[in-house]
C-alpha cells in the first residue's frame, strides 16, 4: 500500500512540470514577469488607445534589488464587460514571442 501511495505521489510531482506555463516567452531568456509577455501582452495584440499612463519610479535603481513602481491609468475605454488589462513589460516587443 505504501508503495502505491509513493508511486502516485511521484507521478503527480513529475506530471506538474509538463503542464506549467512558459513565463519567459517561447524559447528566449527575456522575462516579462510571469506570463504577461508570453500570453496576454504579445506585440501582435497591441492596439491604439486614448488612455494616459503615468509611471513613477525611484530616482536611483540598483541592479538585483527590488523597486517599487506606481502607475496611474486614466481615460481608459473598457470592453463591453467593463474589463481592462494592463501589463508592464521589459521592452516594446513583450517577450519576443510572436505566434
Q: CA triplet 8, 10, 15: central angle to 5 degrees?
A: 95
**Under a CB-based contact definition with an 8 Å cutoff, are residues 69 and 56 in contact?**
yes
Which tens digit of pLDDT belongs to each residue from 77-97?
776 666 666 666 666 665 555
Which tens digit of pLDDT belongs to each residue from 26-78?
554 454 444 554 555 555 555 667 888 888 888 888 888 888 888 888 887 77
Using a cut of 0.75, tell me whether the model's pTM lies above it: no
Residues 6+ away with beta carbon under 8 Å from 80 = none
Give the model's pLDDT for residue 83: 64
Give the model's pLDDT for residue 5: 93
Q: How far apart are CA 24 and CA 42, in angstroms?
A: 12
Average pLDDT over residues 2-14: 88
Buried b (16+ CB within 10 A) or exposed e, 61-96: eeeeeeeeeeeeeeeeeeeeeeeeeeeebeeebbbb
Amino acid at each position: 500500500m505504501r508503495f502505491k501511495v509513493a508511486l502516485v505521489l511521484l507521478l503527480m510531482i513529475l506530471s506538474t512540470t509538463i503542464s506549467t506555463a512558459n513565463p519567459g516567452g517561447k524559447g528566449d531568456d527575456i522575462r516579462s514577469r510571469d506570463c504577461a509577455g508570453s500570453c496576454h501582452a504579445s506585440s501582435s495584440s497591441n492596439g491604439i488607445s486614448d488612455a494616459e499612463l503615468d509611471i513613477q519610479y525611484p530616482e536611483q535603481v540598483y541592479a538585483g534589488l527590488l523597486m517599487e513602481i506606481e502607475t496611474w491609468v486614466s481615460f481608459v475605454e473598457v470592453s463591453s464587460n467593463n474589463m481592462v488589462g494592463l501589463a508592464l513589460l521589459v521592452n516594446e516587443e513583450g517577450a519576443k514571442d510572436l505566434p
